[in-house]
């Protein structure tokens, strides 16, 4: 595997379900990010981790819970989501937070029913 | 905080014609500038970036962009487009003093017409 990978690529979940999104980067980077991409809106930065420490939480509702066990893996745990949470969730990584460009994964298309 | 404006949400252009996709940002503080491309069902791929130095930046796939500090712009250009350039293009800005935050525009959908 190369670059940034995300699983699953597609996810349909009910509002009472609990699911997790997984991101893995194979670039030796130390910063990882979660973004939400909704139609016709700018990408919304959700969380930033730098050397496994969370450095940004952009007022994201608590029904989204990130986890970064090491610099290569990032999870987004989901519970009691709302239909408006349906979107493409993108993971990215960079050398460190604030240094260099971000490399993106292919995203997880989430549909909340 | 920055705001990034991509004035054109959709740009249709004929194959082999030139194209310019516009990007303006709000703040005049020291910034880093990026253009990303997103093909259907894929993540964002870096086209080019401006960190410092020459204001004319060349990227992949024949694209280039020019940083204009006085106009706070970073327009993307290609002299001759191909069908394969059909995609969504995003401009992004990060502030040199706060690299945690990447600010993205709403994107420009480029459609190349045969």
- Tell me what pLDDT residue B25 has: 93
* Phi, psi for residue B62 in degrees, rounded to 5: 80, 10
Is A97's Cβ below 8 Å from some Cβ in B? yes
Cβ-Cβ contacts under 8 Å, A90 against chain B: 43-44
Q: Which two tokens stand for residue B83?
A: 């069908």
Supply B78's token pair: 């290609």
pLDDT in tens, A4-49: 999 999 999 998 889 999 999 999 999 999 999 998 788 899 999 9
B49 inside 8 A of chain A by CB = yes
Q: What is the pLDDT of residue B52?
A: 86
Dump the DSSP string for A38-67. -TTS--EEEEEEETTEEEEE-S--TTEEEE
Are residues B101 and A45, on separate chains, in Cβ contact within 8 Å? Answer: yes
DSSP secondary structure of A96-112 = BTTBS--EE---EEEEE
Q: How far is A98 from chain B (nearest CA, A)?
A: 3
pLDDT at B98 over 70: no
Q: Average the pLDDT over A45-55 and give the result.
A: 90
Judging contacts by C-beta atoms under 8 Å, the chain B residues touching residue A49 are none
What six digits make up the tokens of A109?
A: 């298309």
For A59, residues 6+ apart whose C-beta sits below 8 A from its C-beta are none
What are the residues facing B32 on neighbouring strands?
Answer: B94
Contact B34 A101 (CB under 8 A): yes
CB B99 within 8 A of CB A98: yes
Mean pLDDT calculated for residue range B25-41: 87
* Residue with the larger pLDDT of the pair B16 and B53: B16
Contact between A105 and A6 under an 8 Å Cβ cutoff? The reply is: yes
Tell me the pairing of strands B87-95 and B31-38: antiparallel
Per-residue confidence (pLDDT) for residue B31, from 0 to 100: 86
pLDDT single digits (tens) A71-96: 999 999 999 999 999 999 999 999 88
Best residue of A42, A49, A105 to probe chain B, by most B CBs closer than 10 Å: A42
Min Cα distance B41 → chain A (Å) is 7
Considering only CB atoms, which chain A residues are within 8 Å of B100?
48, 50, 55-56, 97-98
- Return the higher-pLDDT residue of B42 and B112: B112
């Amino acid at each position: 595997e190369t670059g940034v990978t995300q699983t699953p690529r597609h996810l349909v979940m009910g509002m009472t379900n609990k699911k997790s999104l997984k991101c893995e980067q194979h670039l030796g980077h130390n910063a990882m990010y979660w973004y939400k991409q909704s139609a016709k809106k700018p990408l919304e930065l959700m969380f930033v981790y730098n050397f496994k420490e969370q450095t940004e939480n952009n007022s994201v509702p608590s029904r989204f819970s990130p986890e970064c066990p090491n610099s290569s893996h990032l999870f987004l745990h989901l519970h009691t989501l709302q239909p408006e949470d349906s979107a493409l969730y993108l993971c990215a990584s960079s050398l460190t937070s604030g240094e260099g460009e971000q490399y993106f994964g292919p995203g997880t298309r989430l549909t909340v029913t | 905080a920055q705001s990034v404006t991509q004035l054109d949400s959709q740009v249709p252009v004929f194959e082999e014609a030139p194209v310019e996709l516009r990007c303006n940002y709000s703040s005049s503080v020291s910034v880093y500038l990026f253009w990303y491309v997103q093909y259907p069902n894929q993540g964002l791929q870096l086209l080019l970036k401006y960190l410092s130095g020459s204001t004319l930046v060349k990227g992949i796939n024949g694209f280039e962009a020019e940083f204009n500090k006085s106009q706070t712009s970073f327009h993307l250009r290609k002299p001759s487009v191909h069908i394969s350039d059909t995609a969504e293009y995003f401009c992004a800005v990060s502030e040199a003093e706060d690299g945690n935050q990447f600010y993205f525009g709403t994107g420009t959908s480029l459609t190349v017409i045969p």
